[in-house]
């Protein structure tokens, strides 16, 4: 029975794919860098091999990189000691630069003509190599959870590949998918940049809306945040169990970047009145705008609600541009943050600003949904188009 055949395949190709050692279709790179000022690379799950200076604005490597491995465009690298800091089993291609150098902790190689570079990049994105690597990887003695693989073992891992014409056809198709994803992500960046620029003009009053008669709205008045927003302690809305499951209905929130920690099936203590609200981390001053029922994880959170003649969305956006320096491990809302002054327009102008920014948010959200769908589709393609 034929087994090395992908589930999804272009109709003009038949027959089984062939199992080969990586060392049969790739050769190790051992040439060393001799220059002191050069482009130091590191692995990124999203971008492949990236420049430390370009992405981090600094080099986190040793000052002298003259002994590092020298890579050229389309070479591949694998960090032979991987942990939480690196994608497990990730093998990444140098495609953004003509050359660069990596630490000797990496295992580097270039493909032969039997292993198309673009196909190989997609193949390694599937993670097919992980199982092979784990068969021979050993847990490091010094660092718990750190795995190491020897060079000879690495080149003995198996790859299952078709003949070169099928490789290039698969690679071309998946590259087109990647290009569409890149366009969507670029659009997201542009929308976010546009919103940021518009916010600066709106809240500096460089850009003003007119009323329904085409007249100027009244001058903005300076008010403390605490006069515009009240707060509710989250005590009655804290989740009891952290046994989250995506099949449950109620999200458990944090004001930090994670935002949704998980979903709970608890039916009591759900915050669902006075929506929308702003959730505020009392220690970090991080905020999130929430317009759906939720439960909270931490008691170190304030649930901020709008007072009379205040648009909560306007207040949330205004808080994003506050210049506030966090000092010490203390609760900030009552003692400091609520006393900060903001220039506040009338409710009608607040609402116009809020609605305008919400319209941009909707475009960003729709774009994010497109990205998520495309990424999910791409993941399914990788699972079905490779053996």
Q: Three-state SS string across 283-345, please?
A: CCCCEEEECCCEEECCCCEEEEEECCCCCHHHHHHHHHCCCCCCCCCCCCCCCCHHHCEEEEC
Predicted local confidence at residue 105, as pLDDT: 86
CATH superfamily of 1-12+164-210+345-387: Bipartite methylase S protein (1.10.287.1120)
Residue spans in the chain of domains classed CATH 1.10.287.1120? 1-12+164-210+345-387
Please classify residue 242 by burial: count the beta carbons closer than 10 Å to its beta carbon, then call 0-12 exposed, 13-18 middle and 19+ buried. exposed
Predicted local confidence at residue 89, as pLDDT: 65
Predicted local confidence at residue 178, as pLDDT: 96
Give the C-alpha distances (Å, rounded to integers) separating 86 from 54, 80, 217, 266: 18, 10, 53, 36
pLDDT digits (tens, 9 = 90+) for 304-320: 999 999 999 999 999 99
- Comparing CA positions, the residue from 127, 111, 116 lying closest to residue 166 is 116
Predicted local confidence at residue 224, as pLDDT: 95
β-pair partners for 303: 232, 279
The dihedral sign for the CA sequence 339, 342, 346, 349: negative
Predicted local confidence at residue 145, as pLDDT: 52
Run of H or E including 152 = helix 151-154
Q: Provide the edge-to-edge strand list for the sheet that holds 295-296.
A: 260-264, 250-253, 295-296
Q: What size, in residues, is the chain?
A: 387
Non-local CB neighbours of 282 within 8 Å, separated by 6+ positions:
300, 301, 302, 331, 332, 333
**Three-state DSSP class for residue 351:** helix
CATH of 221-344, picked from 2.60.40.1930, 3.90.220.20, 3.40.50.2020, 3.40.190.10, is 3.90.220.20
Q: In CATH, what number does 18-161 get?
A: 3.90.220.20
Predicted local confidence at residue 81, as pLDDT: 59
Query: Considering the entire predicted model, what is its pTM?
Result: 0.84
Q: Report, as ranges of residue numbers, the positions in the chain whose pLDDT lies below 70.
A: 1-2, 36-37, 60, 62, 81-89, 138-147, 327-328
- Comparing CA positions, the residue from 159, 158, 154, 139 lying closest to residue 108 is 154
Residue spans in the chain of domains classed CATH 3.90.220.20? 18-161, 221-344
- Comparing CA positions, the residue from 95, 94, 77 lying closest to residue 86 is 77
């Amino acid at each position: 029975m034929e087994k090395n055949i992908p589930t999804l395949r272009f109709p003009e190709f038949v027959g089984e794919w062939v199992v080969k050692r990586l060392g049969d279709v790739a050769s190790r790179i051992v040439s060393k860098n001799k220059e002191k000022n050069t482009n130091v690379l590191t692995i990124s799950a999203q971008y492949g091999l990236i420049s430390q200076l370009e992405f981090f604005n600094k080099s986190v490597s040793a000052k002298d990189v003259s002994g590092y491995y020298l890579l050229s465009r389309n070479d591949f690298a694998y960090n032979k000691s991987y942990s939480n800091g690196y994608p497990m089993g990730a093998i990444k291609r140098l495609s953004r630069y003509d050359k660069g150098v990596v630490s000797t902790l990496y295992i580097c190689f270039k493909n032969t003509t039997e292993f198309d570079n673009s196909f190989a990049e997609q193949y390694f994105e599937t993670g097919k190599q992980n199982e092979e690597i784990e068969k021979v990887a050993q847990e490091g003695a010094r660092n718990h959870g750190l795995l190491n693989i020897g060079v000879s073992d690495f080149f003995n891992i198996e790859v299952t590949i078709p003949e070169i014409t099928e490789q290039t056809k698969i690679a071309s198709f998946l590259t087109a998918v990647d290009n569409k994803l890149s366009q969507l992500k670029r659009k997201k960046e542009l929308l976010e940049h546009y919103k940021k620029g518009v916010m600066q003009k709106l809240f500096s009053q460089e850009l003003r809306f007119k009323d329904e008669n085409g007249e100027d709205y009244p001058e903005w008045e300076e008010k403390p945040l605490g006069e515009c927003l009240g707060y509710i302690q989250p005590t009655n809305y804290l989740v009891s169990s952290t046994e989250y499951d995506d099949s449950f209905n109620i999200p458990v929130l944090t004001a930090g970047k994670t935002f949704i920690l998980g979903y709970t099936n608890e039916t009591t203590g759900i915050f669902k009145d006075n929506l929308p609200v702003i959730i505020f981390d009392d220690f970090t001053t991080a905020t999130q705008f929430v317009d759906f029922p939720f439960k909270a994880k931490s008691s170190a959170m304030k649930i901020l609600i709008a007072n009379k003649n205040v648009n909560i969305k306007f207040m949330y956006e205004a808080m994003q541009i506050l210049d506030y320096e966090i000092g010490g491990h203390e609760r900030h809302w009552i003692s400091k943050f609520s006393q900060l002054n903001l220039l506040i327009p009338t409710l009608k102008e607040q609402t116009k600003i809020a609605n305008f920014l919400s319209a941009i948010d909707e475009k960003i959200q729709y774009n994010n949904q497109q990205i998520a769908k495309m990424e999910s589709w791409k993941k399914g393609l990788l699972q079905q188009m490779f053996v």
